[in-house]
Structure 1
Amino acid sequence: MASSKSIINTILALRILTLLFCAASLVLIILTMLRGSIKSEFRGIKSYRYVLGAAAGGILYSLIQLPFAMYHAVKEKRLIRGKFLPMFDFYGDKVIAFLLASGVGLGFGVSFEFKDIKRGETIERGYITSGLLLAGFITMAILTILTSMNRKGRGF
């Protein structure tokens, strides 16, 4: 079995990766919405706004979790003693994973449906944005597995 130090470092790395994937997805969708020629097409689809919100939620949650994960990795102990942080990790990771998963599904679905109506750069960016969000979901899904091991304080 892997040592607790390696698991803690893996959790930190996965939190950073989740933040980066969600940030890249958010930046790409905002740039696409602001772009002149496709601005009205992309902005008019409310589903892409949900994808934007899912990415923003992933970023916000990752930014909240990052200081706790860094402290845990450096000091090898929790910043706040007790069961609060393990439970917050457990439930928070699950909620954000479901949010990201629904954003991914919606992003791919609307891009696929929109492909029949319009062709071009808008749809490609929709697929890329959803793909980046999918990568963020995968890292968060792995985090849910790792944090579930520590739910009752019996893990690392």
Structure 2
Amino acid sequence: MGSPVVSPLINLVVRVFTIILLVASLIVLATDNITYGLGFYDYGYQFKFTDIYAYRYMLSVMVIGLVWILLQSAFTIFHFSSGNPLGGNAFAHIEFYGDKVISYLLGTGAAAGFGLTVDAKRFSELDSFENDFFNKANAAASLLLIAFFLSAISSVFSSYNLPKAVTAA
């Protein structure tokens, strides 16, 4: 009995939803900042998400994942339009292992964001601006977590494209 076959269209739809979630998460995180001390003579200080290493890691993971999934989407469109996968057996392995690595990166990025946000909110008394800052970062991590799940589904779909081993009788 053969392995199930997933249509390139279904794979493309999952990748498109992953792209949408990654872009949304990227926008939410990139717009996350607080400005302190905006008095009449005070210039203030702007606290940005890039001031925190875990959120920088989230951003890096989002960009890397977005580049990979856009590239894979282009290859999936080629597969869908031509009916033949690009690159044959070697590319099927690259796609499979690349999808695994990217999905794990997305998962660790979401975990880093959630971990820092929970610890920051638990161990400090936050004013409303700081609370909004961490809630926004938590929303970005939530979108990234959903993107991880969809990327893991794409990884399963890419496993169906792997060449089958020939066994001697």
Q: Do both share a fold (TM > 0.5)? A: yes
Q: Partners of 2:118 and 2:61 in 1: how far apart?
A: 19
User: Aligned partner of 1:17: which letter?
Assistant: F
Structure with the higher fraction of residues in helix conformation: 1
Q: Partners of 1:89 and 1:50 in 2: how far apart?
A: 23
Q: Partners of 2:11 and 2:90 in 1: how far apart?
A: 17
Q: Does 1:23 align with 2:23?
A: yes
Indicate the residue corresponding to 2:97 in structure 1. Answer: 91
Q: Does 1:9 align with 2:9?
A: yes
Q: 1:2 offset after TM fit, Å?
A: 9.9
Structure with the higher fraction of residues in strand conformation: 2
Q: Secondary structure at the match of 2:21?
A: helix
User: Aligned partner of 2:54: which letter?
Assistant: S
Q: 1:36 offset after TM fit, Å?
A: 3.6
Sort the Cα spacing of 1:121 and 1:9 in 2 relative to 1 into closer, same or farther, 3 A. Answer: same
Tell whether the 8 Å contact from 1:54 to 1:99 is kept in structure 2 after alignment: yes
Structure 2 matches for 1:76-155, cutoff 5 A? 76-80=83-87, 82-116=88-122, 117=124, 118-119=126-127, 120-152=131-163
Worse-superposed segment, 37-46 or 113-122: 37-46
Q: For structure 2, which runs of at least 5 residues remain unmatched after alignment?
A: 37-44
Normalised TM-score (structure 2)? 0.80
Q: Partners of 2:23 and 2:13 in 1: how far apart?
A: 15
Structure 1's consecutive aligned runs of 4 or more residues displaced over 3 angstroms after TM superposition are: 1-4, 35-39
Q: Secondary structure at the match of 1:40?
A: strand
Tell whether the 8 Å contact from 1:83 to 1:153 is kept in structure 2 after alignment: no
Q: Partners of 1:11 and 1:39 in 2: how far apart?
A: 42
Normalised TM-score (structure 1)? 0.86
In our comparison, the structure showing a higher alpha carbon Rg is 2
Q: 1:46 offset after TM fit, Å?
A: 0.9
Q: 1:43 offset after TM fit, Å?
A: 3.1
Indicate the residue corresponding to 2:40 in structure 1. Answer: none
* Paired positions, count: 151
Worse-superposed segment, 39-48 or 112-121: 39-48
Worse-superposed segment, 119-128 or 39-48: 39-48
Indicate the residue corresponding to 1:58 in structure 2. Answer: 65
Percent of residue pairs identical: 27
Coordinate RMSD, CA, aligned: 2.3
Q: 1:140 offset after TM fit, Å?
A: 0.5
User: Aligned partner of 2:98: which letter?
Assistant: G
Q: For structure 1, which runs of at least 5 residues remain unmatched after alignment?
A: none
- Structure 1 residues 7-32: Cα deviation after superposition (integer angstroms, max 9, x where no partner): 22111111111111111111111111
